Amino acid sequence: ETGVTQTPRHLVMGMTNKKSLKCEQHLGHNAMYWYKQSAKKPLELMFVYNFKEQTENNSVPSRFSPECPNSSHLFLHLHTLQPEDSALYLCASSQEVLAGRTGELFFGEGSRLTVL
């Protein structure tokens, strides 16, 4: 138990569906992240939120839409995805002490997404 909970753990969706991934952290951290992990590729950072403000969007297609209503919750809204978007989506949180420096990340167990 890392203190970061992701739901659902598994999701199968068609290309025309709309679904959302949810992440909740119980650690009091001020930064939250979405990463994408595909087979045979390094983890790709998608979005970063610091104190609920989006500080990074790593050229992610608009079919992925993040939402951070408060510092404990992070969502990833999915719409008209492609089969190549099938991957493990990992949420993480951290306590940012110094601007521009990243400390230890605490990851959730991930949401395994399959797009048919």
Partner 1 sequence: SQQGEEDPQALSIQEGENATMNCSYKTSINNLQWYRQNSGRGLVHLILIRSNEREKHSGRLRVTLDTSKKSSSLLITASRAADTASYFCATDQETSGSRLTFGEGTQLTVNP
Chain contacts with partner 1 (rule: CB under 8 A): 2, 4, 6, 31, 40-43, 45, 48, 50, 55-56, 58, 88, 90, 92, 96, 100-110, 112
Residue in the block written with tokens 């025309």? 16
Shortest Å distance, C-beta 62 to partner 1: 20
Shortest Å distance, C-beta 85 to partner 1: 18
* Rounded CA separation 40/38 (Å): 6
Residue in the block written with tokens 């739901």? 7
Give 4 or 74: the residue with its C-beta nearer to partner 1: 4
DSSP-assigned states of every residue in 67-89: EEEETTEEEEEEES--GGG-EEE
CA geometry: angle 37, 77, 113, nearest 5 deg: 40
Give 22 or 79: the residue with its C-beta nearer to partner 1: 22
Shortest Å distance, C-beta 18 to partner 1: 25
Give 15 or 27: the residue with its C-beta nearer to partner 1: 27
